[in-house]
Amino acid sequence: MSTQETVLPLARPEFKAQYENFIGGEWIAPTNGNYSENISPVDGQALTRIPKSSAEDIELAVSAATKAFESFKTTTVVERSLMLNKVADKIEANLERLAIAETLDNGKAVRETMAADLPLVVDHFRYFASVIRSESGMVADLDPETISQEVHEPLGVVAQIIPWNFPLLMAAWKLAPALAAGNCVVLKPAGPTPMSILLLMEVIQDVIPAGTINIVNGPGAVIGKVLSTHPDVKKVGFTGETTTGQLIMQYATENIIPSTLELGGKSPNVFFESIMDADDEFFDKAIEGLVLFAFNSGEVCTCPSRALIQESIYEPFMKRVLERVEAIKLGDPLNPTTMMGAQCSTNQKEKILDYIRIGKEEGAECLIGGEAYDNPAHPNGNYIKPTIFKGHNKMRIFQEEIFGPVLAVTTFKDEQEALEIANDTIFGLGSGVWSRDAHQLHSMSRGIEAGRVWVNCYHLYPSHASFGGYKKSGIGRETHMMMLNSYRHTKNILTSYNKNALGFF
């Protein structure tokens, strides 16, 4: 605990009193002149003022993006790759400032923004900068005189609507492939986290052509529909909840355009008895693997929010797990020693507390936590103690995504029951399997219905490993070069070198 006293919180950077929309390479005030306060969940204090935009601002942004696309679509992969690398370099050079801004905007601990969010953002731009240099279309000799070429062309202007749990990383996941493929973007940040992306734009605005990235902040009810249905928007990428996902797919039918959706999750994290065959570094890793439900204050679509533990090891394993949860240090999110920060908004905090109440009403046994955390550093912030419930998989706390540091634990007898419980959910985003038995790892990882199975690990998000959902967790795969094809057309050029007519007419 001595480090706690000696390590000071990181200093707050100066923010402008007011930010504008970023449209056509310029900082433009909202047409209606309206702004809202951006409140930090860390301490409940206003950080800055953010545009409360209207349909007119979306028109300006789509128009700027459309204009920019005229020249951006002709850029070479070399030029776009260099641009993305410059974006990455700029972000890297400003990493600490952006990480602190992200912490203040979202509430997550600065330890995470410094070590995970921002380094992953940087890497994501570099990944897409590199893959476009080494890919090519396809050519087929259909017969000696007929050649088929499959070439890629960007879609045009794309809309991206991002969530508040990883404001910068989710922006990077969407911006990097869209730009790499040659598109121009209109991006709507999430209401609770409008600021950090604007700081990022300040950092990179000199290395991207005007109009390639446009940022418009405002209420979804006012600007979401006009953006998603705009006839000049050629694709919508969205991360969020199921009903808005359905609505976006529905809006996409108006203009016959594609949409990709990353929706919720209720990810099973399955622990087999062999993890306790030895009390070694692997067992230590498995304990941490369960406690990762508290990563990002639990506000992760792939949060390992259901732990399935083989009943033969339940008691001794949970004993060790609870010791580790007990050791999670709450405190000032800006202090690098703080392990878990704030929830993203007051509403989110209240929602999590509501689920904790529902869990108790349903008869789940609260093993640790189960209440708000009164943070002496920030009495007006939104803090919850890491919480573990024991119950059964039909309970609502096992079926609904709480999006907070609340873990639902249950036990299973054997592999078959583990698989049944793991797949008894409407979602299929993440999952984890922990075992020393190679056959079990294989059969479980193939049996689980989810887009990502972490095997003897969890919460790793490297570029070049695809990410996306089965079932109601969405459509599309991010963080992999395959995402490029969802941001571009495939054009077939079919060439005949035969000088003779077909002979039909």
CA distance 55 to 228: 11
Q: How many Cβ atoms from other residues are within 10 Å of residue 133's Cβ?
A: 12
Contact criterion met (CB below 8 Å) for 244 and 472 = no
Residue 467 β-bridge partners = 478
Please identify which residue in the block is written with the tokens 């062309």: 153
**Could you report how far apart the first and last alpha carbons of the chain are, in Å?**
89
Shortest distance, position 315 Cβ to other proteins, whole Å: 28
Shortest distance, position 443 Cβ to other proteins, whole Å: 26
Strand, helix or coil for residue 241: coil
Active site residue 303: no
CA distance 104 to 109: 9
What single-letter DSSP state applies at residue 450?
S
Instruction: Name the amino acid, one letter, at 162.
Output: I
Question: Which of 83/301 has CB closer to other proteins?
Answer: 301
Name the site residues for other proteins (rule: CB under 8 A). 36-37, 39, 41, 161-165, 190-192, 194, 219-222, 224-225, 239-244, 246-247, 250, 262-266, 299, 301, 344-348, 350-351, 354-355, 358, 361-362, 394-396, 399-403, 426-427, 472-473
Question: Which of 272/403 has CB closer to other proteins?
Answer: 403
- Within 8 A by CB and 6+ apart from 171, the residues are 121, 160, 162, 187, 189, 197, 200
CA distance 14 to 101: 10
Residues written for the chain: 505
Active site residue 262: yes
CA distance 365 to 176: 44
Question: What is the helix (H) or strand (E) element at residue 83, kind and residue range?
Answer: helix 77-93
CA distance 193 to 197: 8
Shortest distance, position 247 Cβ to other proteins, whole Å: 6
CA distance 45 to 52: 18
Shortest distance, position 46 Cβ to other proteins, whole Å: 9
Which tokens belong to 272?
A: 């087999």
Please identify which of the residues 262, 299, 401, 478 carries the catalytic annotation.
Answer: 262
Shortest distance, position 358 Cβ to other proteins, whole Å: 6
Shortest distance, position 111 Cβ to other proteins, whole Å: 22
Shortest distance, position 190 Cβ to other proteins, whole Å: 4
Burial of 279 (0-12, 13-18, 19+ CB in 10 A): exposed
Q: Smallest Cα–Cα separation from 408: which of 375, 462, 365?
A: 365
Shortest distance, position 199 Cβ to other proteins, whole Å: 17
Please identify which of the residues 184, 301, 303, 344 carries the catalytic annotation.
Answer: 301
Q: What is the DSSP string of 329-384?
A: PBS-TTSTT--B---S-HHHHHHHHHHHHHHHHHT-EEEE--SB---TT-TTS--B
Question: Which of 260/337 has CB closer to other proteins?
Answer: 260
Question: Which of 35/283 has CB closer to other proteins?
Answer: 35
* Residues labelled as active-site residues: 262, 301
